[in-house]
Amino acid sequence: MKHPTYVVVETGGVGYRLNISLHTYAAIEKEEKAQLLTYLHVKEDIMALYGFADRAERDIFELLIKVNGIGTNTARLILSSMRPEEVQDAVAHEDVSSFKAVKGIGPKTAKRIIIDLKDKIDRTEGSEVLTNQSSGNTASQEAFSALIALGFQQGQVRKAIQKIRQEQKAQTVEEYIKEGLKMLS
C-alpha cells in the first residue's frame, strides 16, 4: 500500500509502516515492486521506520536528525521539499532561504542546519552525492564508509577515493582502505 507520506511493506504476513518523503514517493509511485532503504528511529516511547528510495536521501536524513532542533518529521519535510542534492547545495552555498522555504524552519534553524552540516557535507560543483553511489563501484563505496567510520571527514575521503579510482590503484575494499589511509594520514 502506497501513500504520499508512508508505505506499508508486508514481510512474512506482517505489515510494517515506513514513513517516506515525497521524493521517495515520486520514485516508487508507479512501481509494482520497489526496494527501499530503511532507518529505525527509536525513542523511549516510540519506534518508527523510515524508508528511502536511495542511499543519498537516507544519508542526508541521518545527518539532519543529528542537528539540534531537527526531528525525524522535520527532516522528512526537508527531504519532501528538497532533493538530497539540493540540500547539499544549500549547505555548501550557505543558502538560508532554501531551508526557510520548508514549513516550520525559521532563519535560526536554517542557519543551525548549515553550520552543523557544513563540515559533514562537502558539495562542490560536479562532485558526487555523499557516498559516491553513482560510481557503481561497491569496493570504493565500502571503503568510503569504512574510512568515514574511522573518523575521517567525508570531503577528504571522497577526494581520496576518487583519486585512487582515477589512478586505478585499488580493486578490493582492503586495497582502497590501505591506499586511502596512506593519502589521509
Number of domains in the chain: 3
Percent of the chain with pLDDT over 70: 91
- 106 within a domain of the structure (yes/no): yes
Question: What is the pLDDT averaged over residues 23-50?
Answer: 92
- 90 within a domain of the structure (yes/no): yes
We report the CATH number of the domain holding residue 29 as 2.40.50.140
Q: How sure is the predictor about 50, in pLDDT bands with cuts at 50, 70 and 90?
A: very high
Domain span at 36: 2-52
- 27 within a domain of the structure (yes/no): yes
Quote the pLDDT of residue 137.
Answer: 58
Whole-prediction pTM: 0.67
Q: How far is CA 167 from CA 22, 141, 155, 160, 174, in A?
A: 39, 16, 18, 11, 16
pLDDT tens-digit readout, 118-149? 878 754 333 444 433 334 457 888 888 888 88
We report the CATH number of the domain holding residue 149 as 1.10.8
- 122 within a domain of the structure (yes/no): no
